[in-house]
Structure 1
């Protein structure tokens, strides 16, 4: 028998990359079920647990053969799973050059491509090479020219070598690729659609591939499909216990040594605005499960990007992990003939030193990591620019108003910035009594600017090296924003996740926003009608070229699983113009308020949408009403009261459902904490103190320690003295309208805010205890399902002031500017209610008519007040009986009936009606006939015809 006749002659071969992981093994198994009569070439693995499991448990599932036992001349189809790179499939490399072989590729790794920066560099080098080459042919080149050419050639060769992966990527005649967490997810989905049966053993192997490559569904690359197909495999009988035994990789004692070695050698490289961590170590022996050690290190140190470069025996292994999409480790290691996906990758390198590999890796990172649009993140916009002829005194006021330390100056318009001036210069000018002179006299005219595509090194150089406190950002010859020294410093220390900015002022407004897509969240919690309305709003914004956000309470309540019908839209631009456009689009109406740059769109169904231009508010004095100016979404959110109210969701079609968080609102919602945005918040608007208490009560949150201290500070310094009583009453009324305001009232007492309302207000434990009775009375009333509107706040308020002298109550009412009707309700009518309650508790009437006459003069608020404050249960029951059984009793007889009976109209009618009502209340009459007979009896005894 010849050698050739002993070999297998398959038409289809299935294989994957060298150093296989569970995903590639699982994918080969799944592909084998799709391609019957195929032969699998197992490329081998360095991971011990994979090798052991494959040899001892899985080999029988495969129709497998080593390359030396295959006659490749019969092969017509090559199936590649979990890879598309030539250098990672050496066993079948010869098949790639044959035109008679179809190549089918199943992969979850994205195709690699050169960045624009790399393409431009390559083009520049090629042009230089061509120019130098032609000169070389025409001239007798001197030694220095040869050196220049060699240098350019070396750079060109380096770029070419680094980019060889592009030429090494295989083009398939059929490709099924998707950005899933694992390749086997793609193949399992196909098996399910084709109704191909999967045994429990096969399901276990395939599920193992999904679990490993998604980090048990914790990696950023995990997709919805990974969850779905894993669930399908479990339904096929996949063994979770087997998967758990293989996936949970506990660090062994010998591996702890290597973990410590990696930890000790960590270095941080700041590249294009990101912290890239790298450890380089060497080992005389092979390090088992290096990937597991790297994963453990990532968790310990909370790193975003990490590369472990390990010299083992005569090879260098690189294992990379990334949690951010900007650092695609798969693409980075492709330059070093490695591979993987954006969040996990590896490479093996021979014939190079550690120093060489480390430098090449850093070069690859530098070229591959996509730099953020740092400038747009850092800058404050719109810029505050003043006329250079403004006096130093007025300029100082502008700085104080906006809480900034530098100002741009212009002579004619915002585009022609002529210089800048700092607070220090202004203060010195004022100190020297030069406050009347224009700032032009002392401005700094030697300044640099940057474009929107500038990187951190350039920004650092111009601000720090150039000692420039404020850096204008230019786009199309227009200043669109500024970056300050504080902005830069905040960015440079942002890697310390435990630090929180504590200084007040605008610096907090330019912290980097945390962004994440919460569209699934939106689809789960909002009704289809609201979602479609939000999408329509976004489309309307796109039509006008405006950026739109839904903000504030709507987003907060969405995150808290609370229903909210108030939609507040912020427009980066002309909000009024947008509101008018939206009203036309939705066939609604629009009411505008130009003074505050706001509008209300009223839809045909009556639903209201509040629209505002993004705006900045500043306060001319503590407790004053704010002055409004146009601004950006960052500064618009900065003007708000608490971090939990600063969340925004983008509504434009591009990025719809993206949550934007500049100030840690998500964190504070999770921590159940009320925190202000900057330390002067209560100075600018003391009513925020009441709002802090309201939100803490409503959501069962606690008030943060710093915020609590600042509340006490505001009360101690008495920033409330300039606050109008009307504004205090508005906030207090909102608190009392809450479903259960008692804990809020306790906080009012704890912070001594009762004295802000009035020094004579008595809000002690006995009053707060009565509030519980009010709560029960209101709950009792609401359970009656009566369609009666009443003022909840008034019932609590009457209890709150019941121990105060009449004079104090009168002063409180006047301070709050209560309308006469409300003042009478809480003062005159409340006193009468106390008097009548005293009578009832002393002696209850014998008849219903007597009870009715005592209580009928009161409205619902006083009735509930009396129920809440009654000391005797008999009196409380009598009042409840009146409200539910007697209050709405009326006679059936009418004036025309009396006229028919021959009774002349006059005062007698009222007396008769009252007697009939008393008879009905006391059960003496029931029907209209009873009432007519009763009137006849009265008429015979007292009234002549």
Structure 2
């Protein structure tokens, strides 16, 4: 069982967040922690039937499979569920700044909005999930309460947009006004004005750092968001606020980049936190405290990156005696513009450029050894600073080699590798990735960076995309260069508990950690498709080529974990497409090579509110003209089942139908009746979790030849026997329930007038019925009941009336008081 909890002393933001979270986690039960007070208690009574709140003592902790926590990340605020930390996965949705000791969440989202309602509503908006009016009203109450009617300093533009969205979906303003009495707070606004008046900016190591102070007597709400406001207003990389409140000096610090404010405040003051957010208590007046901060900055600035941190470690070379013509063929096949040339001992003797080989072949010199066309390489030691490597790049024909002591290639730095270090304008995006990751995932990444400081590890794919969108995923995909996936997986399970497996043939590993985080690890690789739709041939390669083999630009970004510093790598313009919410394929034959990619795109479009780039729509049109062959069947089956497990499978199916893909890829031709049934099926959410097979049953009804389709995609044969029950309803509901929940739900959606009949308990023969027929109480009653039950199992009787008829016959055969 999945449960959704808020914090103790539930407020409207926690309650509204819990209600919305049910849309993202259908079937999860809402649980109340402790008692309720004031208007929250009145409102929960008003919505009692709809909320179906369980008391904490009604939940058996042994039956809980996952805990979804709203509006807090502190284990001490979730009552008895604290005991499950480390035993089951936790998903956290919160708007409070992260702090040491927070729950090790494996998913969810933590964003600095004015309310947690906004965090969840933003995800729902992107996925096109609309709340019921009552839920929209509860959510609006939480949004209004935690933003003080959109007047508190922590309020963001997104909070206002979410408020408008909730109104569009029926939020009742009159009810909210009755429930929530807002108290606008002018004190925080006055504090912001004072901070701006006293603010000054200093520069250290290329970073702009704001230092400011203010004084106030009494409590001031929402201080931490003021730091983010100042960072945005003054476009600085970090801010320190020294605040004199009620006779004590507090320091609040936030950092976007290379300045570790957590270590500074913990070592120089009585404070702590992490590299990007920290808090301390200090002795002395605010201005004196700021002076101490300014003097202490230098040791906490991360050094400039070194060449070893950004170079490509897997270096391909060509033998010196290979002919120019053969070397040119190899370079064209692999897409290289130049390669190091090595002697028989593997030592680098030069660098050859493709354009020079093309010229040699054109001049009739293609049979000559490639050594004769090589130039002297530009080399640097691996500890050279990045600025020097950039200068050397201009002198080295677009590449710089890093050699070991024996002259063998240890790494190479090219123009492409410049993407490994984000330009200044991408620093905020790098920070946004880290902030968008769940606490549990960040713990994993930090542990890896500490254990493998000289390795090359990258977070890739959907986890990077979702973090940039503010959604935390519990699934982690890592690409490794120069490291063994099995060794890394073993390290993770030793550190966090859990289990792992290794696929030696594919160079991959999978770790399921005790914190609920799942990690896929793979060496960097590239693919070649021998024919459209066929399985690809895979070989080891570099990070950039690994990213180039993916489906869409928004999935072809990487977040460097090690070596430090962290960096966002975006070689194909994924950030631009992410901001535009556009799905653009990486190359013109993407969908032809792997048709399942278009289904992946439909899932993203439906879930995240993305749209296809014109290039993607052109490829879809080409795909419809040449349906995929048998080689792509297994991947298409997998993608369809993943689509049917989405929060809104109906949206995916509608998009697929709009592009003509339901029939082109699967042979489904749903009519109005099937679409209506699919809509009724989806309407079961969020109160009920709907298995993917329920949707599949209805889709098979839309196939001209379900048997051929089941055979083609390798679905279980039982689907066909169950399909008959959807075409010709059975006489008894047990036949549907015995087929499983998916079949029963599909039937109820197809025949809504018989929905209650499906779930209504069926009367069966009982001992009381036999006694009413004249039998004496005793062993004979039990024996007749067992014979009737056996006949029912063999299908010889169906329904209570037939069971009663058989019982009468048995009584006549054996007598009414005892059996022979």
Aligned 1:755-834 pairs, distance under 5 A: 755-757=663-665, 761-763=667-669, 766=671, 770-780=674-684, 783=687, 791-792=691-692, 794-806=693-705, 809-816=706-713, 818-819=714-715, 822-825=716-719, 827-830=720-723, 832-834=724-726
Q: Equivalent of 1:866, from 744, 747, 760?
A: 747
Q: Equivalent of 1:732, from 599, 621, 640?
A: 640
Q: Equivalent residue of 1:583, what SS?
A: helix
Q: Equivalent of 1:687, from 580, 596, 599?
A: 596
The answer as to 2:479 corresponding to 1:580 is no
Give, in angstroms, the shift of residue 756 of structure 1: 4.0
Q: Equivalent of 2:460, from 537, 551, 565?
A: 551
Q: Which residue number in structure 1 is paired with residue 580 of structure 2? A: 671
Q: Which residue number in structure 2 is paired with residue 446 of structure 1? A: 375
Contact 1:795 1:865 in 2 (8 A): yes
Give, in angstroms, the shift of residue 673 of structure 1: 1.7
User: 1:280-316, CA deviations, whole angstroms, 9 ceiling, x for partnerless residues?
Assistant: xxxxxxxxxxxxxxxxxxxxxxxxxxxxxxxxxxxxx
Give, in angstroms, the shift of residue 701 of structure 1: 0.9
Give, in angstroms, the shift of residue 654 of structure 1: 4.8
CA distance 1:619–1:373, shift in 2 (3 Å): farther
The answer as to 2:409 corresponding to 1:479 is yes
Work out the CA distance in 1 between the residues paired with 2:664 and 2:465. Answer: 29
CA distance 1:772–1:881, shift in 2 (3 Å): same
TM-score by length of 2: 0.55
Give, in angstroms, the shift of residue 628 of structure 1: 3.5
User: 1:212-243, CA deviations, whole angstroms, 9 ceiling, x for partnerless residues?
Assistant: xx9895233264435x75999xxxxxxxxxxx
CA distance 1:534–1:935, shift in 2 (3 Å): farther
Contact 2:325 2:357 in 1 (8 A): no
Aligned 1:496-515 pairs, distance under 5 A: 514-515=426-427
CA distance 1:424–1:608, shift in 2 (3 Å): same
Q: Equivalent residue of 2:236, what SS?
A: coil
Q: Which residue number in structure 1 is paired with residue 100 of structure 2? A: none
Work out the CA distance in 1 between the residues paired with 2:704 and 2:203. Answer: 78
Contact 1:511 1:663 in 2 (8 A): no
The answer as to 2:545 corresponding to 1:639 is no
Work out the CA distance in 2 between the residues paired with 1:550 and 1:385. Answer: 27
TM-score by length of 1: 0.48
The unaligned stretches of length 5 or more in structure 2 are 1-196, 219-225, 247-301, 771-776
Aligned 1:170-569 pairs, distance under 5 A: 180-182=209-211, 184-185=212-213, 188=214, 217-221=232-236, 223-226=238-241, 382-388=314-320, 395=327, 398-412=330-344, 414-420=346-352, 422=354, 425=357, 440=369, 444-451=373-380, 454=388, 459-460=393-394, 462-463=396-397, 472=401, 474=403, 477-482=407-412, 514-516=426-428, 522=434, 526-527=438-439, 529-542=440-453, 545-569=454-478
Contact 2:317 2:341 in 1 (8 A): yes
CA distance 1:549–1:862, shift in 2 (3 Å): same
Give, in angstroms, the shift of residue 431 of structure 1: 12
Work out the CA distance in 2 between the residues paired with 1:719 and 1:415. Answer: 50
Contact 2:479 2:524 in 1 (8 A): yes
Give, in angstroms, the shift of residue 903 of structure 1: 5.6
User: 1:131-154, CA deviations, whole angstroms, 9 ceiling, x for partnerless residues?
Assistant: xxxxxxxxxxxxxxxxxxxxxxxx
User: 1:145-173, CA deviations, whole angstroms, 9 ceiling, x for partnerless residues?
Assistant: xxxxxxxxxxxxxxxxxxxxxxxxxxxxx
Give, in angstroms, the shift of residue 417 of structure 1: 3.9
Relative contact order, higher structure (CA 8 A, sep 6+): 2
Q: Equivalent residue of 2:510, what SS?
A: strand
Contact 2:602 2:656 in 1 (8 A): yes
Work out the CA distance in 2 between the residues paired with 1:389 and 1:686. Answer: 42
Q: Equivalent residue of 1:562, what SS?
A: coil
Structure whose alpha-carbon radius of gyration is higher: 1
Contact 2:477 2:519 in 1 (8 A): yes
The unaligned stretches of length 5 or more in structure 1 are 1-80, 83-105, 116-177, 198-209, 233-369, 464-468, 492-507, 841-849, 871-875, 926-930
CA distance 1:515–1:384, shift in 2 (3 Å): farther
Give, in angstroms, the shift of residue 919 of structure 1: 7.3
Give, in angstroms, the shift of residue 715 of structure 1: 4.5
CA distance 1:784–1:406, shift in 2 (3 Å): closer
Work out the CA distance in 2 between the residues paired with 1:942 and 1:674. Answer: 76
Contact 2:648 2:682 in 1 (8 A): no
Work out the CA distance in 2 between the residues paired with 1:450 and 1:885. Answer: 79
Give, in angstroms, the shift of residue 593 of structure 1: 1.3
CA distance 1:924–1:569, shift in 2 (3 Å): same
Contact 1:401 1:620 in 2 (8 A): no
Q: Equivalent residue of 1:780, what SS?
A: coil
Aligned residues: 554
Work out the CA distance in 2 between the residues paired with 1:631 and 1:890. Answer: 69
Q: Equivalent residue of 1:851, what SS?
A: coil
Give, in angstroms, the shift of residue 539 of structure 1: 2.5
Aligned 1:893-904 pairs, distance under 5 A: 900=780
Work out the CA distance in 1 between the residues paired with 2:202 and 2:656. Answer: 59
User: 1:432-462, CA deviations, whole angstroms, 9 ceiling, x for partnerless residues?
Assistant: 8x99x6x726861334424366566654455
Give, in angstroms, the shift of residue 591 of structure 1: 1.4
Q: Which residue number in structure 1 is paired with residue 757 of structure 2? A: 881
Q: Equivalent of 2:653, from 745, 752, 755?
A: 745
User: 1:333-378, CA deviations, whole angstroms, 9 ceiling, x for partnerless residues?
Assistant: xxxxxxxxxxxxxxxxxxxxxxxxxxxxxxxxxxxxx998797899
Contact 2:784 2:807 in 1 (8 A): no
The answer as to 2:498 corresponding to 1:599 is no
Work out the CA distance in 2 between the residues paired with 1:912 and 1:723. Answer: 45
CA distance 1:855–1:898, shift in 2 (3 Å): farther
CA distance 1:517–1:746, shift in 2 (3 Å): closer
CA distance 1:408–1:899, shift in 2 (3 Å): farther
Work out the CA distance in 1 between the residues paired with 2:430 and 2:416. Answer: 28
The answer as to 2:803 corresponding to 1:910 is no
Q: Which residue number in structure 2 is paired with residue 267 of structure 1? A: none
Q: Equivalent residue of 1:720, what SS?
A: coil
CA distance 1:107–1:754, shift in 2 (3 Å): closer
Work out the CA distance in 2 between the residues paired with 1:781 and 1:397. Answer: 57
Work out the CA distance in 1 between the residues paired with 2:736 and 2:390. Answer: 76
Give, in angstroms, the shift of residue 738 of structure 1: 1.7
CA distance 1:796–1:400, shift in 2 (3 Å): farther
Q: Which residue number in structure 2 is paired with residue 149 of structure 1? A: none
Work out the CA distance in 1 between the residues paired with 2:616 and 2:521. Answer: 30
Work out the CA distance in 2 between the residues paired with 1:894 and 1:400. Answer: 84
Q: Equivalent residue of 2:240, what SS?
A: helix
Work out the CA distance in 2 between the residues paired with 1:620 and 1:408. Answer: 28
With 454-463 and 639-648 compared, the bigger mean Cα shift is at 454-463
Contact 1:622 1:683 in 2 (8 A): yes
